[in-house]
A and B are shown apart, each in its own frame.
Chain A
Amino acid sequence: MSEHRHDTPRATEPPPVDLLRGVRLSKFFVLSGSALKKTQIVRAVQDASIEIGPAETVGLVGESGSGKTTLGRLLLRLLEPTYGRVYFEGRDITHYHERDLRPLRKSLQVLFQDAAAALDERWTVNQIVSEPFAIHGLLREPGARRERVAELLRTVGLGPELLQRRPLELSSGQCQRVSIARALALSPRFIVCDEPIAALDASDQLRVVDLLRSLQETRHHSYLFISHDLRMVLHLSQRVLVMYAGRVVESAHARELREQARHPYTRALLNAIPEVDPKRRRLRVILEGEPPSPFQPIDGCPFHPRCPRAHADPCEHEMPPLVPTAPGKAHEVACWFPHTD
């Protein structure tokens, strides 16, 4: 996969005030062809805008392949956008080189889904958590570094007896805590949590989410919480963006989204949450079909083939713009026929 970039045609948006801001981001991947295969363009993210304030948690929800992870990587500038701009603390970092990004890396961290795979299995917990200091040349004095690592482990609820263990000797929940400790080492301002609990047991999931929240209360960093589990996203986030086929189709405060979702896709996602209480189980409307393949873009609204409210016109011809549900409201939806009740 090679990157394919044009220069942004224009950036007329007002200067950002948020901690991190993505403006009309698109990322296209080019799968180069060969004698037998045509060159293909994958539109992973299209025209997605996102703002994340200080000490805020923004949730990003969508099915696999919807572009959640790509958007997270664009914000971290692990990928360079094809179109659009990324601002960090007001600075335009869209085209920063790796050398310029390096000092920012202390502030921008990431947690991965499979924590066990994200940790080097030959390293001890001590080595893993002290690596950020080594990379950035901090706490050169070994005693100070060891003390700091033990303190970080304590912060994530792990005892010092784990310092000399290796990832294979830890449970999946412990591995995720070690990677949280590593992400926290340099006191970041912003952490992308990419499906951080998907690989954990049910009773571990909420504990890790609780931990993330309490760390935020004391350290005031921001999260982009990426998950396909809408229930968990609603639980942790203040605001939520719903992605479908590379586009943001709805964004709102978590509570408003839960109670007054406008987009038929968001409604379907809410509806698909399994419920313990039969009284809470709404009349189940099962969303038919599967998300579109990123190789075959769909004309019009990408959701129209699965949408119970789709009309031939304009849904099949024109992508609906993401607009506020009412003037001045923070709740935005991209649908020609949004729910209004």
Chain B
Amino acid sequence: MNEPAAPANEPLLCVRQLSTCFEDLAAGDTAAARTAAAQTAALDAVSFDIPYGSIVALVGDSGSGKSLTALSILGLLPPAARVTGGQVLFQGRDLLAAGEAERRTQRGRGIGMIFQEPATALSPVHSVGWQLALALRTGGKLGPIGALQRTSQVGRAPARELLARVELPEPERLLDLYPHQLSAGMRRRVMIALALAQSPALLIADEPTTGLDAPIQAQILELLSRLVSEPRASESTRPSVLFITHDLCVAAEVASEIVVLYAGQVVEAGPVRSVLGRPQHPYTIGLLEHIPGHGFGSPPSSSRPAPRLSRGSSLRAGTEPGCRFADRCPQRLSDPERYPRCASESPQLEPAGARHRSRCFYPRLAGE
């Protein structure tokens, strides 16, 4: 994905060597001491592309840098964090080089965000219709902001259309309801409707189905796939999606490309079929083995537990030499003598197939 010989049409978003770090907090503070490793390099040269009309999944454990990648792209980093290098090319323009005014225009209008937790991301004291109207106004679709009436008649029709687009029943009635009156699944749909309000070209969905029951999760995944794949009147209303999840199965369901993050680095990336069908990196292989029933067939009582990824901090300090995964790598730990490079050199992302990249010195062994 990183080669210059990419297909003629540019991808929608190119993240190039994106690095983000946390500033040192006051020394001696226990919280700071605990995340000392994280402060060195929270994101280390993360690169991936999002082609037009596709869903790309960003997969990893908590603390691996998934959400931080999203916030870096949006320019919404917390005060302690800072982008230290790289490029974020959105429709050919480098967002990191752009001024704050342009970035603000891009947020919402160019890149929509579906936040993880609707319970906190939605306002509890405003009706669904009011919140949608605000999003529409902010995008300049309803004239200037100001005199926001709760049941502004002007905002109702487009707001209703947004709710219909996320396939909510009875959109007219929903406009006057408040988030606490909705079920968890409906709130997620409202979140998606809000993100769609300004017809962004890219949607960033941060764990949009976490905590949902399986049938409702399936509905939301189906909706996102449909938003991306189904032709609409104009091309600009068909967004691409950056789908952030810790669940490899969910990623496999919706995405065409997958990017596996570990400790702030891309450890494996490529088309879903290739990454999950022929995983090269021991971390990806470990994640797959952590899916119960992945090797269906043997009843649980008699099955020998598969080797598990050992516990431990997923953040090996970036300044130390060696692979960040070395201390947890089941392959290396099984016989450290056989894998001498892991502790002393840092592996690079190497091609491992068509558009498939992996960051491991001994990938083929891992794939066996």
Contact = CB atoms under 8 A, between A and B. Distances in A.
Interface of A: 63-64, 157, 169, 173, 198, 201-207, 209-210, 213, 228-232, 234-236, 238, 254-255, 268-269, 271-278, 280-281, 284, 286-288, 290
A290 B185 contact: yes
A55 to B, nearest CB: 11
A207 B308 contact: yes
Contact of A287 (B183, B215, B290, B296): B215
Task: Give the one of A64, A157, A203, A210 with max B CB within 10 A.
Answer: A203
8 contacts: A173-B311, A202-B247, A206-B290, A207-B311, A231-B293, A255-B299, A276-B249, A276-B276
B215 A268 contact: yes
A204 B247 CA distance: 12
Contacts of B214: 228-230, 269, 272-274
B72 to A, nearest CB: 21
Given A274-B221, A278-B273, 6 more contacts: A203-B286, A229-B214, A230-B214, A236-B300, A274-B250, A277-B276
B2 interface: no
A205 B221 CA distance: 22
B305 A210 contact: yes
A157 B238 CA distance: 49
Given A203-B286, A274-B252, A235 B292 contact: yes
The 7 closest A-B pairs by CB, nearest first: A235-B292, A274-B249, A272-B214, A63-B213, A287-B215, A272-B218, A201-B61
A43 B28 CA distance: 53
A204 B314 CA distance: 12
A198 B211 contact: yes
B300 A254 contact: yes
Given A275-B253, A276-B276, A201 B246 contact: yes
B215 A276 contact: no
Given A173-B311, A275-B252, A276-B276, A269 B215 contact: yes
B288 interface: yes
B35 to A, nearest CB: 12
A157 B216 contact: no
Contacts, number: 111
Contacts of B234: none
Interface in B217-250: 217-219, 221-222, 246-250
B252 A286 contact: no
B184 A286 contact: no
A69 B291 CA distance: 25
Contacts of B246: 201-202
Contacts of B319: none
Contacts of B247: 202, 274
B163 to A, nearest CB: 16
Contacts of A64: 184, 213
B222 A286 contact: yes
B294 interface: yes
Contacts of A268: 215
Contacts of B221: 274
Contact of B311 (A63, A157, A231, A232): A157
Contacts of B286: 203
B309 interface: yes
A301 B305 CA distance: 40
Contacts of B183: 290
A186 B175 CA distance: 53
A228 B222 contact: no
A276 B184 contact: no
B301 interface: yes
Contacts of B252: 274-278
Given A202-B248, A272-B214, A231 B290 contact: no
Contact of A284 (B216, B218, B291, B294): B218
Interface in B43-86: 61-62
A286 B249 contact: no
Contacts of B30: 169
B34 interface: yes
Interface string B2-25: 000000000000000000000000
Interface string B273-299: 100100000000011101111101001
A21 B300 CA distance: 24
A63 B300 contact: no
A202 B287 contact: yes
A198 B185 CA distance: 17
A232 B290 CA distance: 11
Nearest to A281: B253
Contact of A206 (B61, B253, B308): B308
A232 B61 contact: no
Interface centre among B213, B222, B252, B309 (most CB of A within 10 A): B213
B12 to A, nearest CB: 25
A87 to B, nearest CB: 26
A282 to B, nearest CB: 12
A173 B301 CA distance: 24
Contacts of B186: 290
